[in-house]
Amino acid sequence: MKILLKNMGLLIVVLLLYGYASAGEVVDQVYKKKSFEGSKDRQYSLFLPEVQGAGEALPLVVVLHGCNQTSRDIMNDTRFNDLAEDEKFIVVYPFVTSYDGLRNTNCWGYWFENEIHQGRGEVADIAGIITEVQNAYSIDSNRIHITGLSSGGAMATAVMVAYSEIIASGASAAGIAYGETACAVRGVCLSFSWFDPATWFDWWAPKFETTEETVQDMVTEMGPDKRLVPLLALHATSDPKVDVAAAGNNATAWATLFEIDMTTPVVSEVGKTDGLIWHYNRYGSYGTGSAIETHFVDGPGHAWVGGAKGTYADPDGPDWAAIAWAFFKAHPMIE
């Protein structure tokens, strides 16, 4: 028995040295506030798959929750852990934890200037969490990807813009383009005008920036060394909260900035899953993959599609987590 315990202890030490002490399990961590402006203590959860080779560098997928959610909610809703176990990648689920400014519960502040620029606020803390995970585990630096739902989808885009040098590719689900205001969400800013008859029947319509404004926001943030981060836009066409036009705007701004032709898709697919029709288009090229991809599902509301059943998750339809992971696998960092 003593020999067995000694050997088990040695195994645990080896696993700790190589960063996989809790293989196949969820580990909760706390990111401590840093000295830069807007940094806060934040909780996050990690899923570590069971691996055979100690020290093997694995991909990392960052998954951001939406408003009125926690990191555990988005973990359960997307079912990324099941994929991570099968495909052998690590998942990190940052939790906004605490925040400033007027916003709904647990929203990432994608519309606040102090939260979306490199070196400060929430995007910097998310980047800091990524660095913390890299320091603790063996991560392939060319395969760090990000996704999220709703405000998490918008914040995923913000991280892709502010930290394009570390994010290989990203997927925004029910998200919004970089630099948009809160008015981009339906019903937040009323647009009624006696002089515009169109507003009489759609006074709750969202207000978007022009493509030119969004591109300028991205150029200002990325600077002269801007880098194309391949983008996958996931959206439901009947989303009552974030209009599907938001996904189109995001993709269009990306295409405009990086001169990608979106007039004709390189590949276009239409299918049906669980009775829901979906449209999958790919544009431009990036390595052996596409620069921009859009996956639109007809029908569901404001939710992660094809996941578990939840307040912001619809189990019917194509599996967005699987689609996002396939996109990530095809889009490692290109130097």
pLDDT tens across 66-113, in order? 999 999 999 999 999 999 999 999 999 999 999 999 899 999 999 999
Cα–Cα distances in angstroms (integers) from residue 137 to residues 23, 174, 259, in the given order? 11, 30, 37
* Strand 90-94 relative to strand 42-48, pairing: antiparallel
pLDDT at position 202 is 55
Q: How confident is the model at residue 198 (pLDDT cuts 50, 70, 90)?
A: low
In words, the CATH class of domain 2-329 is alpha beta
Q: How confident is the model at residue 272 (pLDDT cuts 50, 70, 90)?
A: very high
pLDDT at position 54 is 66
pLDDT at position 188 is 74
pLDDT at position 107 is 97
Cα separation, 78 vs 81, in Å, equals 8
Long-range contacts of 224-227 (CB under 8 A, 24+ apart): 225/165, 226/164, 226/257, 227/164, 227/165
pLDDT at position 50 is 92
DSSP 286: B
Residue spans of the domains in the chain: they are 2-329
3-state secondary structure at position 101:
coil
pLDDT beyond 70 at 229: yes
pLDDT at position 196 is 60
Mean pLDDT of the chain: 90
